[in-house]
Copies of this chain bind each other. A is one copy, B any other.
């Protein structure tokens, strides 16, 4: 990503934070502007419309998630260790970025979802697919479609992170390890 203007970044950050607190509706452009310390008109210097802002913000957020997957899967370690690292890496990322997580979930459950590319072109899922496919190829994982493995893996991460972020439940380190282990027990080949 070419480096962004400070203002643009501020607008992104403010939008995520405010959407988390007030929801997608309930976050007027004027509020974003004030929070980001810019004038309302300035937002329109960087973004065509509110819709465009939201969509670009989604891409921006997704790129950060993609970076996490890239970082964690490029390690040169046994597959199993890599899998656990990836799980924990993504979980930590979501937990430490609750604004992003919430925005993400709102987006994919909104009509904007239609503007997303099909799964095959989705960089995030492509990376996840590829990684899990590798696990199947190396006979570490059961002979199951990588898309299924990807859904199970990611959904476990998301649901735990969401529940923790909402404060409705919390999980200690031991429990997190248990969760990863349960998931692994489910998808791994038993030698």
Contacts from A to B (Cβ < 8 Å) = 21-26, 102, 105-106, 109-113, 118-119, 142, 144-145, 147-148, 151-152, 154-156, 158-160, 162-163, 166, 168-169, 171, 175, 178-179, 182-187
Contacts and interface: CB of A to CB of B under 8 A. Distances in A.
Contacts of A23: 24, 110-112
Could you tell me the dominant secondary structure of chain A's interface residues? helix
Nearest to A101: B109
Given A109-B106, A111-B22, A111-B26, A163 B151 contact: yes
Contact of A119 (B22, B24, B168): B168
A159 B162 CA distance: 14
23 contacts: A23-B110, A24-B25, A25-B25, A105-B109, A106-B109, A106-B110, A109-B109, A109-B162, A118-B168, A142-B182, A144-B178, A147-B169, A148-B175, A148-B178, A151-B160, A151-B163, A152-B156, A152-B179, A152-B182, A152-B183, A155-B159, A185-B185, A186-B187
A124 to B, nearest CB: 13
